[in-house]
Amino acid sequence: MVYLAGEDRYESMKYNRTGRSGLKLPAISLGLWHNFGGINNAENGRSMITRSFDLGITHFDLANNYGPPAGSAEEFFGQVLASDMKPYRDELVISTKAGYHMWAGPYGDWGSRKYMISSLDQSLKRMGLDYVDIFYSHRFDPNTPLEETMGALDHIVRSGKALYVGVSNYSAEQTAEAARILKELGTPMLIHQPRYSLLDRWIENGLQDVLDENGIGSIAFCPLAQGLLTNKYLNGIPEDSRAASTSVFLNENHVTPETLRKVRALNQMAAARGQSLAQFSLAWALRGERLTSVLIGASRVSQIEENVKALSNLEFSQEELDRIDSILNAGHGQDGGTA
């Protein structure tokens, strides 16, 4: 069946300018980290991608190693592009990354010029693209000069393989230096992709200020803390949940009684606002418009539809923000950051 995008796809989505650039991103973007790999149901993945676009989500975020197996998320996304989304390519922002282990030997990891350029070439081939809109250095490489990694990003833009470049998982200090190098090269840093959520506010201790000072956008991954900030864990750890597995990203050691107390208190605040906990958490992350976008993951279409509804109420009173800080700081002094 031929896919035709919804004619009303731009009516309800909010679009934010990325730093000082001319590029706008949807306030909610779709990440293909999980559930779009070679082991997953292809029709479900296709439905999530096309429904996202119908809801105004124009930005799709990938990385070379997304799957599993590594590379399969890009391959799958390329198939959906070819079968359904090709007529809309100029309406899409497609991003990918390189920085984590991808292939054997000394040239398939970290941030060398050889790895970065080779990885993007492979990513473009998997997706059937001539270029991506955004290409990221996925993590800082302590053993490669930052000038080399940023020089590779500059070369990639000048070669036409990416329109913009960014970094992910860089500290405030690393980001400031990377931005300085890229500016001198003539290819400004567009965006930073950090981990950020109600339960993980590290970017408030310096990184957000660096981004503001340099006119760099930001897009948060894990804004729902791998599902902790949804209704999934309100009554404990379900047997089929990610936390019940041996995942290094989220396991039962992260779902402590103290964390659950905080999550339940936040859920009560969300209910008072007429929002689900997920909607509340996404709205909080987007408060004040310091973030350009939040990256959501999904395993089914209904989750995407629920999350997009967060945009209907992004305003928080000072009383609400103070109450959130009180909940998050309970038992930890004042180390949880401020809104």
H or E, element range at 219:
strand 217-220
Task: Evaluate the omega torsion of the peptide bond into residue 68 and state whether it is cis, within 30 degrees of 0.
Answer: yes
Confidence of residue 244 (pLDDT cuts 50, 70, 90): very low
Sign of CA dihedral 339, 192, 140, 185: negative
Residue ranges in 102-256 assigned as alpha helix (H): 113-127, 146-158, 172-185, 207-214
Q: Check if the beta carbon of residue 307 is closer than 8 Å to that of residue 57.
A: no
Task: Return d(Cα 276, Cα 76) in angstroms, integer.
Answer: 31
* Between 331 and 45, residue with greater pLDDT: 45
Helices (H), strands (E): how many in the chain? 10, 10
Contact at 8 Å (CB) between 225 and 56?
A: no
Check pLDDT > 70 for residue 278.
yes
Do 242 and 250 touch, CB atoms closer than 8 A?
yes
CA atoms in the 13 A half-sphere facing the CB of 54: 14
Residues 220 and 291 sit within 8 Å (Cβ to Cβ) = yes
Instruction: Say whether pLDDT at 236 is over 80.
Output: no
Over residues 181-235, the pLDDT tens digits come to 999 999 999 999 999 999 999 999 999 999 999 999 999 999 999 999 999 888 8
Q: Are 97 and 62 in contact (CB under 8 A)?
A: yes
Q: What is the CATH architecture of 15-226+277-312?
A: Alpha-Beta Barrel (3.20)
Residue spans of the domains in the chain: they are 15-226+277-312
**Given pLDDT bands bounded at 50, 70 and 90, which one contains residue 178?**
very high
| First-to-last C-alpha distance (Å) of the chain | 47
Reported pTM: 0.93
| Separation between Cα atoms, residue 128 and residue 85, nearest integer Å | 12
Of the candidates 277, 310, 299, 217, the one whose C-alpha atom is nearest the C-alpha of residue 25 is 217
pLDDT tens, 115-160? 999 999 999 999 999 999 999 999 999 999 999 999 999 999 999 9
